Chain A
Amino acid sequence: MSSVASDTKDRPAEPQHGPSFLWRNRFQIAIIGMLVVLYAVFLIGDWRTYTSFDIYRSFMISIPFFGIMALAATYVVTLGEIDLSFPSIYGLAGWAFSAVYVASGSFPVAFVVCILVGVVGGLVNGLLVTKIGIPSIVATIGTMFLWRGLVNVLTQGQGIPIAQITDDPWHKLFVGQIPLGGPVVIPAQFIWFVAAALFFGVLFKRHRFGSHVLFVGDDEQSARMMGIHVDRVKIACFVILGVSAAFSSVFLLNQMLFFWATTGDGYLLTTLAAVFIGGTSVFGGKGTMIGTFVGVLIIASLEPGIISIGLSGFWTQFVYGLLITISVSIYALMLKRG
């Protein structure tokens, strides 16, 4: 403590009336409310399906395929940046995993190469944005085509079957089924997803790194003046997303047992939609990992939910659009008032 601060007598703490718990967590509360309403509709529309465990098991199988990326993308969006290339990194890393696995027969080797591809993909994005100075939306359009194009060249459009991987002991670690008695079986990848959510959540709000991400996203100039290594923080966020994309592809491939040249392509908009529905601000400086987590649950439940309550699949996109538009409008209004 400086002596200026301490030579004035500390006053007794007055009762403080700062922002209340509810107000501070208004974004998280809004989205959890949305999830509750949605499930109320599903339960009313199709009681049988939504009271049996099967549908939740199928959610738990498929959610991690994009959910982990949504958690990681929360960092990039909080920076006020965007990444459109992670589905292509997913594809390239997935190709590396399959090709190396087929060639070497070693799961760990394939896994390490796959993750390295994710690191390089994220690093390239981060360097383009910070050192070359290209806005992230433009830079990652470039790398999106670059990595997907590379996959096309490498595979000539051919897929890679990896059915033999089910005999590998590592396979179970990623997509094994964990019986909890009766019909309740938890897919391993869902445990990974929950672990990732806890890890990313703590890193975000309770670690120096997360504090720096928030500060950089909020005011880059201030962050620089406070000695935060702005470029390093940004590069790290892109790498986290690249690695998460690579990691997620391992789950998908172990579940599907086949690599397609298009692997990962469908996840761009669902992943980003989950982040934005979750309440992370596109302007940067404000983000919530709980919001993204719930956003992922909402996005994943929509399509099956729409069908099971008796609407045709043609409604899916319309309902997505409705939900995204309404939620981001609510958040924007909250931000204006706050």
Chain B
Amino acid sequence: MSETEPLLVLRNIRKSFGRVEVLKGIDLEIGKGEIVALVGDNGAGKSTLIKVITGVHKPSAGEIVFKGQPITLKNVQASRLLGIETVYQERALADQQELWRNIFAGRELTRFLGFLDVAAQKRETGRLMRSGMGLTSRAITVDSEVKGLSGGEKQSVAIGRALYFDADLIILDEPTMGLSLKETERVLAFVRSIREQGKSAIFIDHNIFHVHDTADRFVILDRGRVVGQFHRSELTHQQLVDMMIALHEAGQVA
């Protein structure tokens, strides 16, 4: 893989649910070490697009190229093995399960024949909680169930889980939704740290200020199409805000 070659290339990605076409031919590139923000109204197809990239949904048409190789993602395991980690909008946690089960869901640490290495899962979860996730409340341990956590704590678990597995591309779908100011700051710091490690990220957020402060490039999605792409240097906060308002009102980028 050369230095300039993009990490991920999407070509003409389409996705329909029944007769409703949600993605109408998406072209998108994500560079190495680049943080790309996907912005657009609710229902624009942002979550659907990232679920195509992670293998949750199969695209109806189109091509995905990752690290220079065309890939077909049979399932979520496939994208994870390639090095794509995701913090889903829905968080993808199981409420009644302990943290140590949630962190390793779907790729448990095992000893032999699939028997869990519970001690290792607990140890690693504990380490991740104290360092990566910043979950230092004394009321929360590796044995706590997700159910009792606050929104911000749940998001920390979901992000911590994505960071643990050392991916090349990290996707975050509305990670700051419902968080306090302090928790939001923490999440944005996470996102910036991704670039510092030379990894790439796709970042979805409705707050234009978060997006503008964090991402290198903005991709504007509207009703299943990419309607605009800008580098951070090309636009000020205000121009981006104005553009989103115009899109919302007129249905097109001014």
Of B94, B142, B166, which is in contact with the most chain A CB atoms at under 10 Å from its CB? B94
B138 A219 Cβ-Cβ under 8 A: no
Of residues 98 to 152 in B, which have CB atoms within 8 Å of A's CB atoms?
101, 104-108, 110, 114-116, 118, 124, 126-128, 130-132, 136, 138-145, 147
CA distance A286 to B146 in the complex (A): 13
Closest CB-CB distance, A285 to chain B, in whole Å?
Answer: 4
Q: Does B77 contact A (CB under 8 A)?
A: yes
Query: Which residue from chain B places its CB closest to the CB of A18 in the assembled complex?
Result: B141
Given the known interface contacts A208-B108, A227-B107, the answer about A3 and B94 at a Cβ–Cβ threshold of 8 Å is no
Give A338 to B147 CA distance when docked, in angstroms: 9
The residues of A that contact B252 with a CB separation of less than 8 Å are none
Cβ of A227 to closest chain B Cβ, rounded Å: 3
Find chain B residues with CB under 8 A from A18 CB.
139-144
Tell me whether A207 and B105 are in contact in the complex, defined as CB-CB below 8 angstroms, given that A4-B163, A224-B56 are known contacts. Answer: no
Among B20-28, B60-68, B84-92, B219-227, the stretch in contact with A:
B84-92
State how many angstroms separate the Cβ of A242 from the closest Cβ of chain B: 21
Q: Indicate whether B69 reaches chain A with its CB closer than 8 angstroms.
A: no
Interface residue? A8 (CB, 8 A): yes
Q: Considering the chains assembled together, what is the distance between the CA atoms of A211 and B55 in angstroms?
A: 22
Q: By the criterion CB–CB under 8 Å, are A215 and B97 in contact?
A: yes
Q: Which A residues are CB-close (under 8 A) to B197?
A: 2-4
Tell me the bound Cα distance from A171 to B56 in angstroms: 50
Q: Does B96 count as interface, using CB distance less than 8 angstroms?
A: yes
CB–CB B132/A5 < 8 A: yes
A229 lies within 8 A of chain B by Cβ? yes
Contacts of A209 in B (CB 8 A): 114
Residues from 1 to 38 in A contacting B, C-beta threshold 8 Å: 1-6, 8-11, 13-19, 24
CB atoms of B143 and A10 under 8 A apart: no
Q: Are B96 and A218 in contact, CB atoms less than 8 angstroms apart?
A: yes
**Interface membership of chain A positions 211-255, coded 1 if the CB is closer than 8 angstroms to chain B and 0 otherwise:** 110110011011111111100000000000000000000000000
Least distance between A282 CB and chain B CB atoms (Å): 13
Q: Give Cα A19–Cα B148 distance, bound, in whole angstroms.
A: 11
A8 touches B132 (CB 8 A): yes
Which residues does chain A contribute within 8 Å of B97, judged by CB atoms? 214-215, 218, 285
Q: Is the CB of A24 within 8 A of B114?
A: no
Closest to B139 in A: A17
Give Cα A219 to B97, complex, Å.
Answer: 10
- Given A208-B114, A226-B92; 9 other pairs, CB 8 A cutoff: A1-B127, A2-B164, A10-B130, A214-B94, A219-B95, A221-B90, A227-B76, A285-B94, A286-B96
A-B contact pairs, 28 of them (CB 8 A): A2-B197, A4-B163, A5-B128, A5-B160, A8-B131, A11-B131, A17-B139, A17-B141, A18-B139, A19-B143, A208-B115, A214-B94, A214-B96, A214-B97, A215-B94, A219-B93, A222-B90, A222-B93, A222-B94, A223-B105, A224-B76, A225-B86, A225-B90, A226-B76, A226-B105, A285-B94, A286-B96, A338-B147
